[in-house]
Amino acid sequence: MLDARLRPIIDVPLNSIGQWLAGRGIGANGVTMAGMVVGLAAAAAIGQGEYRTGLLLILVNRLLDGLDGAIARASRLTDFGGYLDIVADFVFYVAVPVGFGLASPSNLVPALLLVASFALTGISFLAFATLAAKRGIETAAHGRKSFFYDTGIAEGTETIAAFILMSLFPTYFPTIAVIYASLCVLTIAQRSFGAWHRFR
């Protein structure tokens, strides 16, 4: 919901840094892989109860996720790069709740619900993108991307905000997880209605 509004603000510094890195031979795919490793490290830290370390690594992961796209735009966008980016994103989105689930037995069921809601949100996102590509539908609301990005209630910005709250207040993880999983379900319903409207 907030991604498209933040995009014009964050793209300016990210694109500048991305151009600088691309000019020095840094590849987008390498940055994507580095971000995925950092995201897995964040989940591992959280699973050990090191929530502040996990939070720091979450923020580094998101910085690298922004930079890989900026580097790609400064050099060239590729289909494989787009594929790798979305896979790395969902590895991160699934790993962090798993980390919280491992940190405390009371977190396990809410973590499972959150992972399930992320999986279904991702499926609705990718299914919409596939059909949009088939019909030649494009949007620049989220910047230049390798595939169609459909707007939803629960997007990247909201997810990171939830992860930050979970890391700062880990005892409230079950409550935050259930609330955010509910927002993901609403996003699936919203996206499904949009698909019905566009593709029927």
What are the tens digits of pLDDT across the range 158-195? 999 999 999 999 999 999 999 999 999 999 998 888 77
CB 199 within 8 A of CB 131: yes
- The percent of residues in the chain predicted with pLDDT above 90, rounded, is 60
Is the pLDDT confidence value at 143 over 50?
Answer: no
Question: pLDDT at position 131, please?
Answer: 82
For position 120, what pLDDT does the model report? Answer: 94
* pLDDT for the residue numbered 102: 97
Percent of the chain with pLDDT over 70: 87
Residue 142 pLDDT = 42
Distance CA 46, CA 170 (A): 9
Domain of residue 125, CATH code: 1.20.120.1760
Confidence check: pLDDT of 112 > 50: yes
Range from 67-71, 95-99, 151-155, 194-198 carrying the lowest mean pLDDT: 151-155
pLDDT of residue 153: 80
Question: Residues 2-36: pLDDT tens digits?
Answer: 555 666 667 778 888 989 998 888 999 999 999 99
Give me the long-range contacts of 144-149 (CB less than 8 A, separation at least 24).
144/73, 144/77, 145/69, 145/77, 145/82, 146/77, 146/78, 146/79, 146/81, 146/82, 146/83, 146/85, 147/82, 147/86, 149/3
Say if residue 54's pLDDT is above 80: yes
Domain enclosing residue 140, as ranges: 3-199
Q: How many structural domains comprise the chain?
A: 1
User: What is the pTM for the complete model shown?
Assistant: 0.84
